[in-house]
Amino acid sequence: MTTEINLLAILSILFFFGGGLAIALRLFALPDRRTPPRMLGIGLGFVALLFQAMALYGELITPVGLNLSIFTVAALVAWTMVLLLLLSALTKPVENLGILLLPGAGITMILAVRFPHLRLLHDSESLGLNLHILISLLAYSLLTLAAVQATLLAIQDRHLHNRHPGGFIRALPPLQTMESLLFEMIGAGFFLLSLALLSGVLFLENLFAQHLVHKTILSLVSWVSFAVLLWGRFRFGWRGRTAITWTLIGFLLLMLAYFGSKVVLELILVR
């Protein structure tokens, strides 16, 4: 990374952690203490996204193609997740997810700066393949948001059942609202994942080639998991722990599909 990109990355990291801290102070503040305004954390997040976008552009776009190394892709996914979250937070009470996602995005930038690997998708690759990659990243980002939402929902459900709703739990939206937001995220993410799989069929020569077979199979099993969850919600009204379990299973399968091979090749085998 150049000095300019490093500076932009550092600024984005500082603003990400600042935004996460502002949200945390609102969630964990005592009833008689003043808290930061709601828009402070959201605003700091948008500033962090601006700096991260400028830093990532210099890393992603190279003279010979796209750099899709593991930490650069992780930072891009984090950027997309935070953008989706902050845009939703302008109209819905979802900014509390930022307590995990904003620092998480900062951590991905730290890793991207610390381990600047290079893994190129050359300019000779087709426009359709680039479109497939873009849709896949959007699907993964949205379903990761759903997994974070499911985790918060699990914590909220456990505290409410134990009748120990602390300040953090009281600051969250009602359980029904949290569940509705979860299924909105899953529905949109499932639609994008379906498009990603379809675009893979159309634009990849062989989805079951040796270097793609595990991604294809795990992505398909994840798709089936989310399809079962949405069907169960529609047919049987699944909610609560059942919805949380299926969401996390689908997400873990998808995470293995997207990042499993990259971890092995780039961090273990160093290829």
pLDDT at 207: 63
Q: Choose among 158, 20, 164: nearest CA to 85.
A: 20
3-state secondary structure 220-254: HHHHHHHHHHHHHHHHHCCCHHHHHHHHHHHHHHH
Enter the tokens of residue 45. Answer: 């997040």
Alpha-carbon radius of gyration of the chain: 19
Average pLDDT over residues 5-18: 92
Average pLDDT over residues 243-257: 92
When the pLDDT of each residue in the chain is averaged and rounded to a whole number, the result is 83
User: Domain limits of the chain?
Assistant: 1-125, 126-271
- pLDDT digits 0-9 by tens, 190-243: 999 999 999 888 877 766 665 567 788 889 999 999 999 999 999 999 988 899
pLDDT at 61: 74
Average pLDDT over residues 88-105: 88
CA distance 250 to 14: 32
Give the range with max mean pLDDT: 3-12, 172-181, 190-199: 190-199
Is the predicted pLDDT of residue 270 greater than 80, yes or no?
Answer: no
> Which of these ranges, 69-73, 142-146, 206-210, has the smallest mean pLDDT?
206-210
pLDDT at 13: 95
- The backbone torsions φ and ψ at residue 146, rounded to the nearest 5 degrees and listed phi first, read -65, -40
pTM, 2 dp: 0.79
Q: How confident is the model at residue 64 (pLDDT cuts 50, 70, 90)?
A: low
